[in-house]
Amino acid sequence: MAATNELLMNQAHEIDKLRALQDDNDFVKTLYAQLSAIFEQNIKSLGEIASDYFQSGKNASLFMNRFSEQFKMLLSSNEVWEQIETQVNKTHNNCISRLIQIHPNLSIEERHLAMLSVLNFSSIATAICLGYKGPNVVYTKKSNLKKKLEINCSIEDYLNQLG
């Protein structure tokens, strides 16, 4: 009887894991759809930047600066970040809400960095999303955030503990 109960509990735990994976999959789909809609609305601007790149003698530096600024502008929408925060909280047991409760002095940028960290964005992807010059800036920002949070583990581990 005890073995049967343990087996049922293990199966229930596995089902919960599968549901969590489905929630993560739904989150990714939702986020992708939201970002796609934003990009579709602004694709003309990105196309103009690409056109300028070829017309300016393929000045890669100019192109990257303009592209980065346009991309940053796309993600500067509070509505987008609010939707991302809602989905992260939904799929990661309210870890961002708890983070804000424990550390109400975090800047918006630090909150965004935390959200992308819990989503396991690479340093390059994080740099692009937050408009940083490169991944080294992400490492520095994460290091500063860890000091502010007074933690010794990674930001990702800390947020997972909160969730």
Q: Which residues contact 39 (CB under 8 A, 6 or more apart)?
A: 46, 74
Higher pLDDT, 141 or 82: 141
Q: pLDDT, tens digit, for every residue of 109-137?
A: 999 999 999 988 888 888 878 878 888 99
Side chain identity, residue 5:
N
Nearest Cα neighbor of 109 from 136, 86, 132, 79 is: 132
Q: Alpha carbon 5 to chain centroid distance?
A: 39
pLDDT at 24 over 80: no
Q: Which residues contact 126 (CB under 8 A, 6 or more apart)?
A: 113, 116, 117, 132, 135, 138
Give the model confidence (pLDDT) of 55-114 as tens digits.
666 566 666 666 667 666 766 777 778 888 888 888 889 999 999 999 999 999 999 999
Query: What mean pLDDT do residues 7-33 have?
Result: 60
5-19, 116-130, 132-146: which has the highest mean pLDDT?
Answer: 132-146
Cα-based angle 11, 28, 157 (whole degrees, multiple of 5):
70
